[in-house]
Amino acid sequence: MPQILKTVALLLPTTCLLFLPLLSLQAQQPAANQPTAEDVIKAVEAKKGPAKAANDPIERIKEEGLKRSQVMATLSYLTDVIGPRLTGSPGLTRANEWTRDKLSGWGAENAHLEPWGPFGRGWSLQRFSAQVVEPHAIPLIGYPKAWSPGLEGTLVAPVVHLDAKSEADLTKFKGTLKGAIVLVGPARDLDARVEPLATRLTDSELLTLANANEPSNGRAQPRRREAPSFERQRLQFLVDEGAALVAEPSPLGDGGTLFVSGARLPGPAAAPGSNARRPSAWDKDAPRTVPQIVLAIEHYNRLVRMIGQGESLKMAVDLSVQFHEDDLMGYNTIAEIPGTDLKQEVVMLGGHLDSWHSSTGATDNAAGVAVAMEAVRILKALDLHPRRTVRIALWTGEEQGLRGSRAYASKHFSTGDDPAGFDHPRDTEAEESEEAEESEEFEESEESEESEGSEAESTPTPEFKSFSGYFNLDNGTGKIRGVYLQGNEAVRPIFRKWLEPFRAMGATTLSSANTGGTDHLSFDGLGLPGFQFIQDPVEYSTRTHHSNQDVFDRIQANDMKQAAIIMAAFVYNTAVLDEKLPRKPRPKPTATTVVTNPGAKASPH
């Protein structure tokens, strides 16, 4: 152990040392003072000697991933060149095709786009601006919601604050909203920030994860959340009254950072116990709704206060959009490194390729895509010949309910009535809830809905039996600190050994906890080994996730290199094991299983 680590260890309380996982120096220092992954590797190689480093596959993976990395170039093309990748949009189509061709160019085989769906119509923004024009000019920071209808020309209209908290409150606005721009929702109080925007997991946080109890049912099941019906009723009221446009406050963030997702649809509350599928804004035959934008909280608050002071406001909004209905299917990018003696068995890795639209989706989730692609590039560059086939999958439709990975799991691993919960009737309910957006489980409500009836109600396919494991990355730019085991304690000794070479790089923690909100759930829900890596949050929940600031500049290059190396190593190790990864016991059929999600995708994501 380096001398500085010994010094730190002596300062830790003895009681903590009894339970602490192997800790990284990087969790104990400010981010700016941490040794880089390259510094650590050089020190380790100096101790091991050149012969061992040259022959050890893991050391070769480290060297390739540090000295010849292409992860940031891949990320830049996805974000800077292709840009937003909303499901169904031309941007996502371009990303599908580019990733397929890039993987093929690196030597991956069977690179193709695998269809799923149908999903629905695409949407892209053509032009947007918003400003107050009376009583004086106020340029506004804002962004339209995805799948919002556009406007015919520039709208100049009076601004009304609809300060209604119940259906009864709406009646006093009857007859006053026709042609108006309507502010919905109260002002949001802002406190000065005293905590840093960027953080890394501390020793105590890693200790909490390491000591988490095994989930009672052994698998993750995202929760059903009933969205408050008043929001749909309010939107229906606005449609009926002829409102011209709805402006909402950003539910999170400040300083000009907006958190934007999809447009809401009007309608009555669902009947209790109803299994009817609620329409989604991307449906080709979606009911008519009002154009919808989100405003920066400081600007929204000012408009509310001005109206409260008796000012009469007018806004000018230009909103031009295009819907795309030529292809209603979704597509996952798939490519492989064929195995050798166990080539019929499969190890998978991946992350979701789609993003929201207000920025370029760098941390959510071009980072995970670039890392997974880099892991494949590393394995091909080293010509390591895995025994099992390595298959990368870059999912789409994740932001609308894990749709691409759910469809893949249903097709390849199970037979039965919707075994992966793909066609759940309420997969967009909570997306319509402001309360859900304001909670720390914002993403859980949008991306991981309840999967009723899963693997226990279906018949496994041959691919189910030959599957070894899936590794997912979808928590932003932060370096890997360990693995969520999803209650699969049988893999703990295996993963502990695999993490050992990365102790000095900060990856030490194994947590029994389930984590939700992303595509490993599509595998875990079927009883297959599916894992999400534990990552440092950095700025994920405070600045970038689903925001207009999710850009290349927020990505940390050293973290990306470290993550690609570890993902490549885990995939390689899984591919050369004598046996497939052990699985959790198959769950018994249940109508509904509710598990509180402790994962990083929900908090901090």
Pick from 251-265, 290-304, 447-461, 589-603: least confident: 589-603
> What integer pLDDT is reported at residue 278 of this predicted model?
87
Say whether pLDDT at 135 is over 80.
yes
Q: In the prediction, which pLDDT does 416 show?
A: 63
pLDDT given at position 159: 99
Per-residue confidence (pLDDT) for residue 459, from 0 to 100: 81
Mean pLDDT value across residues 420-433: 40
What residue type is 271 in one-letter code? A
Q: Report d(CA 446, CA 386) in Å as an integer.
A: 36
Give the side-chain half-sphere CA count within 13 A for 585: 7
The CATH code belonging to domain 3-120+199-221+327-576 is: 3.40.630.10
Percentage of the residues of the chain whose pLDDT score is greater than 70 = 78
Minimum mean pLDDT range among 213-222, 396-405, 540-549? 213-222
Q: What is the pLDDT of residues 520-535, one digit of tens each?
A: 999 999 999 999 999 9
Q: What CATH number belongs to 122-194+225-324?
A: 3.50.30.30
In this prediction, residues 104-133 reach a mean pLDDT of 99
Q: Kindly state the average pLDDT of the residues 382-409.
A: 98
In angstroms, the CA 443 to CA 456 distance is: 27
What is the edge-to-edge ordering of all strands in the sheet holding 245-249? 138-139, 122-134, 314-324, 155-162, 181-184, 245-249, 292-295, 142-144
Query: Which distant-in-sequence residues (6+ apart) come within 8 Å of 188 by Cβ?
Result: 249, 297, 300, 301
Asked if the model's pLDDT at residue 71 lies above 80, the reply is yes
Looking at the predicted structure, is the pLDDT value of residue 352 above 70? yes
How confident is the model over 261-280, as a mean pLDDT? 81
- What pLDDT is recorded for position 52? 64
User: At 596, is the pLDDT very low, low, confident or very high (cuts 50, 70, 90)?
Assistant: very low
Domain regions of the chain by residue span: 3-120+199-221+327-576, 122-194+225-324
pLDDT tens digit string along 439-450?
A: 333 333 333 333
pLDDT above 70 for 44: no
569: closest CA among 70, 46, 66, 5? 66
Give the pLDDT score at 456. Answer: 44
| 459-477 average pLDDT score | 96
Q: What is the pLDDT of residues 188-215, one digit of tens each?
A: 999 999 999 999 999 999 999 999 987 7
Lowest mean pLDDT among 39-53, 96-110, 422-436: 422-436
Dump pLDDT digits (tens) for 22-39.
Answer: 333 343 344 445 666 667
Q: Are 520 and 486 in contact (CB under 8 A)?
A: yes
The model carries a pTM of 0.85
Point out the least confidently predicted range of 24-33, 169-178, 345-354, 387-396.
24-33
48-62, 260-274, 433-447, 528-542: the lowest-pLDDT one: 433-447
**pLDDT at position 435 over 50:** no
Whether residue 605 is predicted with pLDDT greater than 50 in this model: the reply is: no
As a whole number, mean pLDDT of residues 318-339 equals 99
Closest-CA residue to 555 (of 535, 538, 534, 532): 538
Quick check: 380 pLDDT over 60?
yes
Beta-bridged to residue 534, according to DSSP, are 482
- pLDDT score, position 118: 97
Mean pLDDT value across the chain = 86
What's the confidence (pLDDT) of residue 174? 97
